[in-house]
Structure 1
């Protein structure tokens, strides 16, 4: 364990990635970012992005949700009949076809999480204006929890994949909501990249107003470094040395995902009926059929998102768990890079589930072209859900607990 030191203690902060005490430069110039010199975790961004700019983006996104989710984003013309799809319809159709849990997962990631995240940001600004602590705590907690689950960008890619799959069977018509979705995706990505919960809590009460003689705990919600206690002195969230039962919960999620990945890959995930032929596709056979249909780009996207990414997450998290449990002392920086990669790629496993929901909405039952999900989709949904939970439950600081005292303790943060 690294111990906090007293000189210039008001300028010391514990790294949220590895708990290294670092002397913090209060203001970085625009374009410069602060990174931990040991684990590479980004600590702060340069410049002073306006919080009111975040509010403007959040309100704009909330307004865009109306046309993006109410109007059709795509339609197909088949045998003289036009079928349209809205974003929520895919989830409702999964529900009506006997896949309620899969429906809830698709609805949550594509609709509920993005809307609630933007609304929570508005609540944070209202709380700052009214000095409303409960609203501030609720809003920042929701943002912290929902950031990994807002997947509008993944949904947009799935729309493109579904269009390529259907272009040989029907005419594709772009709906007005697709343009709103594209703008919404750009603004939401910009908003998520700008939002820093530390900046909001600094606006609520700056860190320098706390007179701490030691800093041995780091709050994962508001990023205040402080002495040992049961609750954070600023946001009043429970304060722990490490996430409670992090290794046990991560292992449980990972074992369950490892069991589910076998039926997810062996049992058909989709069933397409065309011209009287019933075509049952597993994930792998679907990739092969896309290659045979002269769509190598889409085949590669599906292969990476639905086969490589889940396997990489399971293997990567398993390796990190073993290293954290046995307190391996070498290659810790490399393991941290694996952790960062796993967090970034995790959400892209949802792509195939979004494609299934879009196909189910556009290709009605009873037509010459018919589509239904296979039982393998349930297992694949479990893999996606469990690996996302495993990633969020793993505390990266456990990878560094056995690191010897470093001479870089207290050094100024790197600027890149």
Structure 2
């Protein structure tokens, strides 16, 4: 592919040159992957997505684990925590259900529907499918759920016997397939299959479509997907600041109010995130304490501070450390979903520790605030247009050649 195009992450005009032997084309300025090299077949992605959809059924129906608590066998399925939380905490229950079931289902189904739309030239079906894959892939969190399940097992091992169920094997295989699928799927490649990008002379008026990643002349709407075109995403800085300020407000009750309430033989223990971590350290669960501390305290605070730093450097037009800021932004995007771990642990614990038993476990008011923080910080990262980081960088009007590297994925 030799068509000149703009880098989607930094707007640098480049000439992608796809090397052989599995090499990919990367932007020489921000290191964004512009094109994935190596062999490629839509049929393999279709097969993986179909296998994921098939495995989703037993992963949800069969128990992941079963515990024996006071002689009673209590199974835990993937959606059981959501069903238990729904009457009293509907918002938290929906967030957990969305990240553990709805988003993965939509992403897998959209890969299939995109290929159906591509094959039979159904534009609306194809476009909606690509939108879902682009915007929901970061919300599919089987990997976070599996780690949360392991933490929950460590927490209840002193009170109950634990038995692995068939649903857990299905979920592990499903997560492996999902990881492979998300690594292989390239939205830009699908759009290239729909309509190849035509040769275009890149100049200062050229625009990059944020949906199908096509570089084109100055237009109101993309000539390929029909989306509105903008030099930069409208109100990107304002939206990101709004999400960040709201997340900062909610992070205080999320850490000050109890996130879980545990009743043991009539003794009521209310734990905040920090006191829960301290209790894990006290009970010789240092490894789990570190994981919870990083995921529930360090990650949310780091996302807020990191995005605030990036926004301030953009608004004050800092002309240094562009690549470092870009790496920080990508790191924030990558770690964002791991804050969901505490909420997954709560949903699993609510399922395993039956409310009718001597032991009782319920979420506290801090869980609602913490869920809001997770959603707002993820939306903040998605709303920021990374090209704003590079706006005061030395501009190039002539395309430069990308660099080729071994394909890591």
TM-score, normalisation: structure 2: 0.96
- Matched with 1:11 is 3
How far, CA to CA, are the matches of 1:405 and 1:198 in structure 2?
24
How far, CA to CA, are the matches of 1:337 and 1:35 in structure 2?
14
Bigger mean CA deviation after superposition, 254-263 or 236-245: 236-245
- Matched with 2:200 is 212
- Matched with 1:4 is none
Consecutive unaligned residues of structure 2, counting only runs of 5 or more, are none
Alignment length, in residue pairs?
A: 403
Q: Give the CA deviation at 1:142.
A: 1.0
Say if 2:22 and 2:39, in contact at 8 Å, map to a contact too: no
- Matched with 2:48 is 57
Q: Give the CA deviation at 1:28.
A: 2.6
Q: Give the CA deviation at 1:42.
A: 1.6
Q: Give the CA deviation at 1:11.
A: 2.1
Consecutive unaligned residues of structure 1, counting only runs of 5 or more, are 1-7
- Matched with 2:287 is 297
How far, CA to CA, are the matches of 1:31 and 1:388 in structure 2?
32
Q: Give the CA deviation at 1:219.
A: 1.1
- Matched with 1:336 is 326
Say if 1:28 and 1:45, in contact at 8 Å, map to a contact too: no
Q: Give the CA deviation at 1:46.
A: 1.5
- Matched with 1:24 is 16
- Matched with 2:64 is 73
Within the candidate set 97, 120, 126, 2:110 is matched to 120
Within the candidate set 31, 41, 46, 1:40 is matched to 31
TM-score, normalisation: structure 1: 0.95
Say if 2:260 and 2:271, in contact at 8 Å, map to a contact too: yes
How far, CA to CA, are the matches of 1:258 and 1:28 in structure 2?
45
How far, CA to CA, are the matches of 1:264 and 1:211 in structure 2?
52
- Matched with 1:413 is 402
- For the residue of structure 2 that corresponds to 1:300, the secondary structure is helix
1:306–1:294 distance in 2 versus 1, CA, 3 Å: same
- Matched with 2:302 is 312
- Matched with 1:104 is 94
How far, CA to CA, are the matches of 1:52 and 1:213 in structure 2?
34
Q: Give the CA deviation at 1:239.
A: 1.5
Bigger mean CA deviation after superposition, 214-223 or 395-404: 214-223
How far, CA to CA, are the matches of 2:63 and 2:281 in structure 1?
30
How far, CA to CA, are the matches of 2:45 and 2:19 in structure 1?
20
Q: Deviations over 1:375-414 (max 9, x none)?
A: 000010010000000000000000111112259x522111
1:161 aligns with 2:151: yes
Q: Give the CA deviation at 1:211.
A: 4.6
Say if 2:202 and 2:399, in contact at 8 Å, map to a contact too: no
Q: Deviations over 1:35-74 (max 9, x none)?
A: 2111121212211321111100000000000100111111
How far, CA to CA, are the matches of 1:161 and 1:30 in structure 2?
41
Q: Give the CA deviation at 1:101.
A: 0.8
- For the residue of structure 2 that corresponds to 1:43, the secondary structure is strand
Q: Deviations over 1:166-210 (max 9, x none)?
A: 111111111110000000000001100100011111111111xx2
- For the residue of structure 1 that corresponds to 2:401, the secondary structure is coil
1:48–1:222 distance in 2 versus 1, CA, 3 Å: farther
How far, CA to CA, are the matches of 1:253 and 1:406 in structure 2?
33
How far, CA to CA, are the matches of 1:58 and 1:258 in structure 2?
38
How far, CA to CA, are the matches of 2:42 and 2:283 in structure 1?
49
Within the candidate set 203, 228, 235, 1:245 is matched to 235
1:176 aligns with 2:166: yes
How far, CA to CA, are the matches of 1:231 and 1:169 in structure 2?
61
How far, CA to CA, are the matches of 1:346 and 1:279 in structure 2?
29
Alignment of structure 1 residues 268-307 onto 2, 5 Å: 268-307=258-297
How far, CA to CA, are the matches of 1:196 and 1:30 in structure 2?
18
- Matched with 1:365 is 355
- Matched with 1:3 is none
How far, CA to CA, are the matches of 1:140 and 1:223 in structure 2?
12
